[in-house]
Amino acid sequence: MSKKVKQKTNNSRRKFLQNASLAAAGYFIVPRHVLGRGYIAPSDKLNIAGIGAGGKGESDLKSFAESPKVNIVALCDVDDRQSVKSRQNFPKANYYKDFREMLAKEKNNIDACSISTPDHTHAVATLAAMQLGKHVYTQKPLTHDIYEARILAQAAKKYKVVTQMGNQGGSGDGVRRMKELYDAGLIGDIVEAQAWTNRPIWPQGVTKPTGTYPVPSELDWNLWQGTAPREEYNPAYLPFNWRGWWNYGTGALGDMACHIMDPIYRILPIDFPSSAECSIANQWTGMNQEANNIASCPVSSIIHLEYPRKDKKGTLKVSWYDGGLLPKRPDELKPEEDFGNWDGGVLFIGTKGKLLADCYGANPRLLPLSKNDSAKAVKETIKRVPEGHYLQWVNACMEGYGKGVTSSPFEYAGPFTESILMGNLAIRSALYTDPNVSGWGKNKFTGRKKLLWDAQNMKITNFDEANQFVKRQYSEGWSLTL
């Protein structure tokens, strides 16, 4: 076949495939921006835009760029100081401060977006990209609020894009091995799970900062606040310590539970909890200490969630510990043996035994450790992700929606995030004070109870004041609508 005839044949085939795909989708032209929905030829590349180019955004973009299939074509960050390294790493990428402007101007040039902003901006940035048909990789926690998580899970189905939440352990070998050991019946039926972290490693349980500071010239403070209530600029909030402030972050739970609790949610037959309760600790700031610190997440907390099993076999109890608090060490663990690792861990308590893993579900082992010889006979039955969490998403984007596979698609990550954020709803309810009660004490903190959750309607049924924490009121000019 001559080169000219071969080229004509290939062009005709490509045109046929495009027309067939577009006919099914109801389109009559093929702009570049729809290629991200699965019509990228194998020889093409995935053009990614980064919303949040500093900090975690910087490392995320570098991880995507490890693939020869990727071009980083646009960068966005409200703080020029934070984006310096990414702009050096990707000098050809167009740079913006407002992700809305970036999406409007670059929508025909990009196929996918990486969202690595503070928690309070995750949902609006992610949904905006999805509504343009862009695949999305959004850092954990997927959202700041329960309502936002529900919306993004629905959006993934509506807009038919490839999605991934940035909980890298979800693609690790550890959680897959844990499931294989559980499925083999080595610990029997799980009745309880415990998870813990050493976070926070930033200020929490502190009073709201005061003082007047000039806004750095490199920072667009108004854009950084985004959906959050307007506050005077203070260096206590950024670039990193935003995690400890409710307006912007989700505390130790939001930072680490998507990593550490992933084995629980991925392996056990649960979706939404039926109840949540907590206990919290704060720094001493006087007799009314707890009321003084309501703008900040607590120093430490213990959260108890109850889940009705989807297989109708009773209830599963899940507990979370942070701020250096730990569950009781299992009797099967010798005093010198590690209980998880420095960052945290997860423990499954079954009717026949116990299964322990480190942070990210790494290094799973039976307790007592002497039982692990029997675990060697359990065969590997679950496919691993050798390319890792980032490139798994890249490859899935190249394959297209409905063809590629990701470990934490929003259909999974949305309900998982909702479940985690129930713990923060319990904490914020515990910090809530009745404005009609003077002084302090039991009668003032009316939210310190077991909160009953109606998942279908996203509502606490026995303490109405708690429902203000299901869905935030956005600042003027911001909304989240499918």
Residues 108-119 pLDDT 10s: 999 999 999 999
Q: What is the pLDDT of residues 48-71, one digit of tens each?
A: 999 999 999 999 999 999 999 999
Q: What is the pLDDT of residues 74-102, one digit of tens each?
A: 999 999 999 999 999 999 999 999 999 99
Higher pLDDT, 6 or 246: 246
Q: What is the pLDDT of residues 162-217, one digit of tens each?
A: 999 999 999 999 999 999 999 999 999 999 999 999 999 999 999 899 999 999 99
Question: Contact 274/310 with Cβ under 8 angstroms?
Answer: no
On the question of pLDDT at 223 being above 80, the answer is yes
Across 326-354, average pLDDT:
97
- Write the DSSP string, 281-343: E----STTHHHHTTTB--SEEEEEEEEE-TTSS-EEEEEEE-TT--PPPPTTS-TTS-SSBTT
On the question of pLDDT at 394 being above 60, the answer is yes
- Residues forming a β-bridge with 75: 50, 95
- Residues forming a β-bridge with 71: 47
Collapsed DSSP state (helix, strand, coil) of residue 239? coil
pLDDT (0 to 100) of residue 277? 98
On the question of pLDDT at 35 being above 90, the answer is no
Sorting pLDDT into bands at 50, 70 and 90, what band is 441? low
Structure tokens at 232: 């005077």
On the question of pLDDT at 8 being above 50, the answer is no
DSSP letter at 355? E
pLDDT (0 to 100) of residue 173? 98
Average pLDDT, rounded, for the chain? 91
How far is it, in rounded angstroms, from Cα 397 to Cα 162?
Answer: 6
Higher pLDDT, 13 or 162: 162
How far is it, in rounded angstroms, from Cα 358 to Cα 68?
Answer: 32
On the question of pLDDT at 129 being above 90, the answer is yes
pLDDT (0 to 100) of residue 225? 98
How far is it, in rounded angstroms, from Cα 361 to Cα 92?
Answer: 38
pLDDT (0 to 100) of residue 444? 84
On the question of pLDDT at 293 being above 80, the answer is no
Across 280-299, average pLDDT:
75
pLDDT (0 to 100) of residue 289? 54
Instruction: Write the burial class of residue 408 (CB in 10 Å: 0-12 exposed, 13-18 middle, 19+ buried).
Output: buried
Which of 329, 422, 382, 446 has its CA nearest to residue 143? 422
pLDDT (0 to 100) of residue 18? 39
Question: Contact 192/317 with Cβ under 8 angstroms?
Answer: yes
How far is it, in rounded angstroms, from Cα 327 to Cα 57?
Answer: 33
On the question of pLDDT at 5 being above 50, the answer is no
Across 115-128, average pLDDT:
98
Structure tokens at 367: 């307790």
pLDDT (0 to 100) of residue 292? 59
On the question of pLDDT at 41 being above 80, the answer is no
